Amino acid sequence: RKFVYDFSEGNKDLKDLLGGKGANLAEMTNLGLPVPPGFTITTEACKVYLASGEAPADLRDEVSAHLEALETRMGKTLGQSDDPLLVSVRSGAKFSMPGMMDTVLNIGLSDESVQGLAKQAGDERFAWDSYRRLIQMFGDTVLGIDGELFADALEEAKRAKGAATDVDLCAEDLRVLVEQFKDIVRGETGRDFPQDPREQMDLAVRAVFDSWNGERAKLYRRQERIPHDLGTAVNICSMVFGNLGPDSGTGVAFTRDPASGQQGVYGDYLQNAQGEDVVAGIRNTVPLADLEALDKTSYDQLMQIMETLETHYRDLCDIEFTIERGKLWMLQTRVGKRTAAAAFRIATQLVDQGLIDEAEALQRVTGAQLAQLMFPRFDGNDAATGIQRIGWGIAASPGAAVGKAVFDSYTAIKWSRSGEKVILIRRETNPDDLDGMLAAEGILTSRGGKTSHAAVVARGMGKTCVCGAEELEVDTKRRCLSAPGGVVVEEGDTVSIDGSTGKVYLGEVPVVPSPVVEYFEGRTHAGADDADELVKAVHRMMAYADRMRRLRVRANADNAEDAARARRFGAQGIGLCRTEHMFLGERRELVERLILADAEDERKTALEALLPLQKGDFVELFEAMDGLPVTVRLLDPPLHEFLPDITELSVRVALAESRKDANENDLRLLQAVHRLHEQNPMLGLRGVRLGLVIPGLFTMQVRAIAEAAADRLAAKGDPRAEIMIPLVGTVQELELVREEAEEVIAAVEREHGTELKLSLGTMIELPRAALTAGQIAECADFFSFGTNDLTQTVWGFSRDDVEASFFTAYLEKGIFGVSPFETIDKDGVGALVRDAAAAGRATRPDLKLGVCGEHGGDPESVHFFHEAGLDYVSCSPFRIPVARLEAGRAAA
């Protein structure tokens, strides 16, 4: 096996073997771009090292051979005392990974060769500066010394000298600093800084290998679902120097604006510096455009190269470069990260340039990006609004929220009940804060990361959240928050938080609706002359997706208003109408009467009162979705949800009894509440079980559906109702319900003298239903996978409790990267879906298959359902565009 590749031997498609950085360095080398010569040690070598604790036997010799070739080419040897070849050692995995060792520059410098470098470069200061950088980086990343020790010593040197920046330190200052750095190394490790250049290189390579299994790297991989066995490559590259004087420098560049997607010159340049200075923000960079005035030749060449790279990669590239005494060198390129808006615009621009086709364009954006673009946002930037930014935390759950600061959940609830908008501010949240979080417009915490309780729960609720704003001091006792600069926010002060950027403001920042939502709502048009460029791009991408996708997209909607919105957003029907939502408010009393009825005629009266109301709901719904299928689910939730709270009612009755004026109805009600009280209501009397034990309930609903359909037909409409039975576990349940339903439908058809063409199917949301799907399909025209309940029952996770209780811990431990209620668990729940779909189709090839759990609108899950061969996904109206886009991407 070959463990080392010269840059000229690889290419961009060898990321598995050479890592992202190595593969792209090879690609640039072969494009004839000015890349400093070097070689890459493969991920295979790393894997052997990680498995056995030893580098592969041949690696040393192979590295020696490549190093010799490099030395011959450069005309000097590594660390040669009178004219040293210096190299950088950089990690480079297939996926870029924070938490891994990054770079050590200037390997090959020693007490001796630093003198040689000074002579060759004709610059003492430069040589000592390079040496101190080596010890600093090597000490920090290879030897594991606290980087602060070096940084502090550097600061102290500057202070002693009265130097504003490191450039103001002279050769002698730096020589003294090198001695101090070496002392730090000796003090911290008990060893001298290694003087042998090959030892430096080998130690750095080993440190890169080891960093693959650093704690932060491992955690990152678990959370991002990156396999642990990929290993990292190591790139060894001859050094070029940006710190050789004013005709040298280093910079980063983008081939287009990563924020907006606009074409132009974007990047930063720093004169007389090495790469890490830009990252560390030690001195102020200048805009890349200023390079033209400083060094026109290099600037022109860079522009040329950027064009070559864009055309070659057919995408936005980001670039690191160095200019050494007027000569331009390319140190890195990769397809660059970009904002959501830029992603959409760039994808369509590249189609217009003929660089990519529509299918490829769809791969360049994601549903998550589209979802981001659909949140309302703050108007203008900090400077434009003049409103004070007081902190900057982690953008945990997107959106823009404005409200009065409150510091406990009780106040959040109280104030929001009286009509105030509030922002709940806590150091961190815990399950006791749930109601407060629900009541708030947004949540702000000073502690915790993206997987903290606040972040996880807020995302689940769709609430704006900024977490971990660490410079803000939350004092819940005194009910205030202190920000840097002596700013204090008291309870009741208005704050604004931006969950998309993490910014926190004191005062009210104006919120504007998303232009993308305005477009989906039909309030603006992509074809208008003044249409937003982003809206035009989104419009085009949606058209590509709709042309490409096989999955149909339906909405979960229970009323005409939601149905109409869903239709505007592109829904092709309703996949789930939850009829329980029609029994709330004033109708609750009718349901109560139905539940309390113990005589036949009492029950009949209650059902007769409900029937016309239900029918009216359906007429409206069928009208809003005329010509498109509407799946109506018969009543599902446990009955206690329609009854008063057991504690409140008990207290009321007890008080009344003590006053001797308890009323008959309350007593009956209390009895019923006790009778229906369940320890595990989600596993109790609900779904099809209700239909089977409460005579007349399902038949009333079926009649309402059938009569509504008949009315719509009479009105020349095109109703396409589908009746869906929830929580079926065995085909026998479905047979009984079906028999009754068919009788009712036939009766309505006779009464109206019309044919209704209603179909009847079931939800698959219990493991037993999935496992016996072949039998159930005998009796069902369609299946709709209820992946919410299916996830709950397959994992044994209470869907109402666990996300707030232990999911934070599970996410932090990396047991899963994302909640299985959010993204389908492919191996468990997903496998059941796939097998049940296949079994159902084996029984009945024309069986229609859909999904109506929350996963129907989740990007990753949509891809899974596409592959499982479902016909449609159904999701909340707001997520329909995302589902359309992802269905298109899945098929592209």
Residue with Cβ nearer Mg ion (3 or 783): 783
Nearest to 34 by CA among 297, 321, 235: 321
DSSP one-letter string for 95-157: S--TTS--EEEEET--TTHHHHHHHHHT-HHHHHHHHHHHHHHIIIIIS---HHHHHHHHHHH
**How many CB atoms are located within 10 Å of the residue 870 CB?**
24
578 binds ligand PEP (CB under 6 A): yes
Nearest to 235 by CA among 381, 412, 102: 102
Minimum CB–partner distance for residue 799 and ligand PEP (Å): 8
Does an H or E element contain 169, and which?
none
Question: What mask of x and - would describe binding to ligand PEP in positions 38 to 77, judged by CB under 6 A?
Answer: ----------------------------------------
853 binds ligand PEP (CB under 6 A): yes
Active site residue 525: no
Question: What mask of x and - would describe binding to ligand PEP in positions 600 to 639, judged by CB under 6 A?
Answer: ------------------------------------x---
Residue with Cβ nearer ligand PEP (210 or 636): 636
| Alpha-carbon distance values, 661 to 646, 658, 665, 674 (Å) | 19, 8, 12, 21
Minimum CB–partner distance for residue 851 and ligand PEP (Å): 8
User: What gap in Å lies between CA 523 and CA 860, rounded to an integer?
Assistant: 30
Active site residue 453: yes
Residue pair 377/449 in contact (Cβ under 8 Å)? The answer is no
Size of the residue set binding ligand PEP (CB under 6 A):
10
Minimum CB–partner distance for residue 855 and ligand PEP (Å): 8
Nearest to 473 by CA among 425, 423, 429: 425
Residue with Cβ nearer ligand PEP (710 or 727): 727
Residue pair 820/838 in contact (Cβ under 8 Å)? The answer is no
Minimum CB–partner distance for residue 685 and Mg ion (Å): 14
Which DSSP letter does residue 826 get?
I
Map the footprint of Mg ion across residues 479-518, applying CB under 5 A: none
Binding span for Mg ion by CB under 5 A among 213-221, 254-262, 601-609, 786-794: 786-794
372 binds, among ligand PEP, Mg ion, none (CB under 5 to 8 A by kind): none
853 binds, among ligand PEP, Mg ion, none (CB under 5 to 8 A by kind): ligand PEP
Residue pair 391/471 in contact (Cβ under 8 Å)? The answer is yes
Map the footprint of ligand PEP across residues 785-824, applying CB under 6 A: 786-789
Residue with Cβ nearer ligand PEP (375 or 698): 698
User: What gap in Å lies between CA 119 and CA 46, rounded to an integer?
Assistant: 38
Residue 81 burial (C-beta neighbours within 10 Å; 0-12, 13-18, 19+): middle
Residue with Cβ nearer ligand PEP (67 or 852): 852
Minimum CB–partner distance for residue 872 and ligand PEP (Å): 13
525 binds, among ligand PEP, Mg ion, none (CB under 5 to 8 A by kind): none
Strand runs labelled E in 456-561: 464-467, 473-475, 480-483, 487-490, 494-498, 503-506, 511-512, 552-556
Cα-based angle 521, 522, 525 (whole degrees, multiple of 5): 130
Residue with Cβ nearer Mg ion (205 or 763): 763
Q: Which residues contact 873 (CB under 8 A, 6 or more apart)?
A: 551, 552, 553, 554, 575, 850, 851, 855, 856, 857, 861, 862, 865, 883, 887
Active-site residue, selected from the candidate residues 467, 852, 866, 875: 852
Question: What mask of x and - would describe binding to ligand PEP in positions 762 to 791, judged by CB under 6 A?
Answer: ---x--------------------xxxx--
623 binds, among ligand PEP, Mg ion, none (CB under 5 to 8 A by kind): none
Residue with Cβ nearer ligand PEP (424 or 576): 576
User: What gap in Å lies between CA 50 and CA 612, rounded to an integer?
Assistant: 71
Residue with Cβ nearer ligand PEP (43 or 792): 792
- At 82, list the tokens: 């009178």
Active-site residue, selected from the candidate residues 46, 66, 453, 467: 453
Minimum CB–partner distance for residue 556 and Mg ion (Å): 11
786 binds Mg ion (CB under 5 A): yes
User: What gap in Å lies between CA 98 and CA 709, rounded to an integer?
Assistant: 58
Residue 613 CA from chain centroid, whole number: 42
Residue with Cβ nearer ligand PEP (420 or 641): 641
Residue that has been written with the tokens 């590239």 in this structure: 317
What number of H helices and E strands is found in the chain?
Answer: 37, 31
Binding span for Mg ion by CB under 5 A among 505-513, 574-582, 689-697, 788-796: 788-796
User: What gap in Å lies between CA 568 and CA 564, rounded to an integer?
Assistant: 6
If DSSP codes are grouped into helix, strand and coil, which group holds residue 194?
coil
Residue pair 515/532 in contact (Cβ under 8 Å)? The answer is yes
Q: Nearest 5°: phi and psi at 324? A: -110, 110
| Alpha-carbon distance values, 12 to 30, 235, 864 (Å) | 10, 14, 28
Minimum CB–partner distance for residue 459 and ligand PEP (Å): 18
Residue with Cβ nearer Mg ion (274 or 784): 784
Map the footprint of Mg ion across residues 738-767, applying CB under 5 A: 765
Outline where 325-477 has alpha helix (H): 340-352, 358-363, 367-373, 382-385, 409-417, 434-439, 453-461
19 binds, among Mg ion, ligand PEP, none (CB under 5 to 8 A by kind): none
576 binds ligand PEP (CB under 6 A): yes
578 binds, among Mg ion, ligand PEP, none (CB under 5 to 8 A by kind): ligand PEP
Residue pair 403/465 in contact (Cβ under 8 Å)? The answer is no
Residue 388 CA from chain centroid, whole number: 29
Q: Which residue is nearest to Mg ion (CB)?
A: 789
318 binds, among ligand PEP, Mg ion, none (CB under 5 to 8 A by kind): none
Minimum CB–partner distance for residue 743 and Mg ion (Å): 26
Which DSSP letter does residue 78 get?
B
Residue with Cβ nearer ligand PEP (686 or 889): 686
Residue with Cβ nearer ligand PEP (78 or 577): 577
- At 319, list the tokens: 């670039």
Residue with Cβ nearer ligand PEP (361 or 764): 764
Minimum CB–partner distance for residue 860 and ligand PEP (Å): 17
852 binds, among Mg ion, ligand PEP, none (CB under 5 to 8 A by kind): ligand PEP
Q: Nearest 5°: phi and psi at 322? A: -135, 145
Minimum CB–partner distance for residue 874 and ligand PEP (Å): 8
User: What gap in Å lies between CA 146 and CA 398, rounded to an integer?
Assistant: 35
Minimum CB–partner distance for residue 691 and ligand PEP (Å): 15
Minimum CB–partner distance for residue 593 and ligand PEP (Å): 24
Minimum CB–partner distance for residue 1 and Mg ion (Å): 53
789 binds Mg ion (CB under 5 A): yes
Contact residues: ligand PEP, CB under 6 A: 576, 578, 636, 765, 786-789, 852-853
Contact residues: Mg ion, CB under 5 A: 765, 786, 789
Q: Just list the catalytic residues.
A: 453, 852
